[in-house]
Structure formats: structure tokens, C-alpha cells
Amino acid sequence: MDFFSNIVKIMQKYWQVFLVQGISYTLLLSLLTVAFGAVLGLLLYLGRTVRFKPLNWLCIAIVEVIRGTPMLLQLYVGYFIVPKILPFQVTEFTSVAVALCINSGCYVSEIFRSGIQAVDKGQTEAARSLGLNSRQTMFRIILPQAIKNILPALGNEFIMIVKDTSLASTFFVGELMTACLKVRGNTFLAMECMTIVGVIYFVLTFILSKLLGSFERRLKAND
């Protein structure tokens, strides 16, 4: 009973830390990561398709390195090394967000690749027969169809990022796990704080997964 009563006491005193600060920073970080990651993923995919070989190799190398190394290591690089390279100052939140965006972009590039390859090749042949060049074919014919195919996968990526932002707590940027660490430091009630955050993460991902499922059903109905 002490366990649950402690949870109630923590929520009564620190609910703003969890529900306002923690959730807002988590969702903001997730939205930024997916939005900029989608743009970066598309650019990386397009970079792998152009005829300029050095650009091909660079994009492939970036994707393979990011996908082949742990996200936490990338966050350390983004937090400690990148700010020293840049000629201007960046905040801790920005450093972590950039690292997450690059990580997400490399995975999203593979989502774009699979989505574009799923489009019937006859679409490309028909577009070229109508006189469209490769750029016009990609942006007017292929991408609109591919985006419809990859939207569910991007939704799943968003849900994954919501959970992966917990790694940002290493640098105390304000998301849910950072809120947990702050409250734990004040109350010395580790299990209770972890339980609260676990429930919040579950509720967030559950709601998002249900919304994504509803969105997918609408897409199928439109087909």
C-alpha cells in the first residue's frame, strides 16, 4: 500500500513535472525528429539515386554508419563533439534533437526506398512516354504514390521515437525520463517514479498506435 500511496503523493506534488514539462518536451522532440528526419531521409534516398558517384557513396556511408552504431553513441557525439565543430553555439536540446533527426533520417531513407520501389515500374515508363523527365517523374508521379505507402511506416517511426527519446535523459533535456530523474532525486522513490513514467509512456504509445491504426484503415478505405 505504501507503494501506491507514494505514487499518489508524487503525482499530487510533481504532476506538472511529468504531465506538462515531461510530455511536452517528449512530444516536441519526437515531432521535430520525425519531421526533419523525413526530409533528411528523402534527401538521403535521392542522393543515392543520382548519377554523381561521390554523392552516392557519401549518402550510403552516412546511412550505413548511423544504422550500424548505437543511438546513445550518436547522442554523445551530437552532444559533446558537434557543438565544438560548429562556429555558433547550440543548446543542449538542439544538440540532442539534431542527433535524433540524423538517426531517424537514415532509417526513414530506407522506408522511402522500400515505398518507392513498391510503386509499379509501369508508372515510370508511362510518365517517361508522356515526355516527363526523371525529376518530374519522381516528384509528380512516383513520390505522391510512395508517400501514401510509407505514411503508416512513418507513423510507426514516430511511436518508436517517442520511446527512444528516453535516451535523451542522459543529457537532462527535459523529457519524461529527465522528469523522472529529477523527481527521483527529490523524493528518493525510484520505483514509484519509474512506474509513473512507464505508465505515461504506455498511455502515449497506446493512444498513438490506435490513432495510427484508424488512419491506416481510412487509407485502405480510400483505396
Among 137, 135, 133, which Cα is nearest to 120's?
Answer: 137
Report how far residue 173's alpha carbon sits from residue 26's, in angstroms, rounded to the nearest whole number. 9
pLDDT tens digits, one per residue of 145-164: 888 778 888 888 888 999 88
Beta strands in the chain (DSSP E): none
What is the average pLDDT score of the chain? 87
Percent of the chain whose pLDDT exceeds 90:
31
Work out the number of other CB atoms within 10 angstroms of the CB of residue 70. Answer: 10
Report how far residue 154's alpha carbon sits from residue 216's, in angstroms, rounded to the nearest whole number. 11
Distances (CA, A) of 181 to 23, 111, 166, 175, 177: 14, 34, 11, 10, 6
- The confidence score (pLDDT) of residue 118 equals 79
> Which is more confident, 135 or 195?
195
- The confidence score (pLDDT) of residue 1 equals 62
For 157, the grid coordinates are 517511426
For residue 196, pLDDT beyond 80: yes
- The confidence score (pLDDT) of residue 197 equals 93
Map out the domains of the chain with their CATH numbers: 2-222 (1.10.3720.10)
Q: How confident is the model at residue 91 (pLDDT cuts 50, 70, 90)?
A: confident
What's the maximum distance between 2 C-alpha atoms anywhere in the chain?
74
**Cell numbers 552516392: residue:** 56
- The confidence score (pLDDT) of residue 223 equals 61
Backbone φ and ψ for 35, nearest 5 degrees, come out as -65, -55
pLDDT tens digits, one per residue of 22-52: 899 999 999 999 999 999 998 998 888 888 8
Q: How confident is the model at residue 140 (pLDDT cuts 50, 70, 90)?
A: confident
For residue 182, pLDDT beyond 80: yes
First-residue to last-residue Cα distance in the chain: 53
For 66, the grid coordinates are 548511423
pLDDT tens digits, one per residue of 118-131: 777 777 778 777 77
